[in-house]
Amino acid sequence: PMKNSELCIEKLKCAFPFIKSNIAFKALAHVILRAKQINSEFYPIIIDHIGVGGSVLRSKDVGDIDIVVVSSNRPEYASEWEQFKKLLRENFIPLWKLLSLTRDKSG
């Protein structure tokens, strides 16, 4: 069976035949699958649109891949995220010490 990324790449190739770069398709598939993951989980944003531009639309050999992601807020999660950020700020020093201890013991 095909993996999600392979299936996504095949769909992208059918939908956008003018894109010739396999690397671009892999990058787009990665971004799309991550966006689906973000949209299905508890985040204060939702990914609304994904776009691509630049040399990837003109050439098979690309130096970079210009991907644009448009998101919007999820007001239903805003207060819980604010509480989470406040808790992190209030406990930053103890958390940092714990991380430092863990890092020092593993190295």
Task: Please give the Cα distance from 9 to 25 (Å, whole number).
Answer: 6
Residue 85 has pLDDT above 70, yes or no: yes
Question: Which whole number is the average pLDDT over 55-75?
Answer: 91
Structure tokens at 101: 């201890």
pLDDT of residue 107: 58
Residue 106 has pLDDT above 70, yes or no: no
pLDDT of residue 61: 86
Residue 2 has pLDDT above 80, yes or no: no
CB contact at 8 A, 8 and 33: yes
Residue 87 has pLDDT above 70, yes or no: yes
Give whole-number Cα distances, 25 to 14, 19, 40, 51, 80, in Å.
11, 8, 22, 12, 36
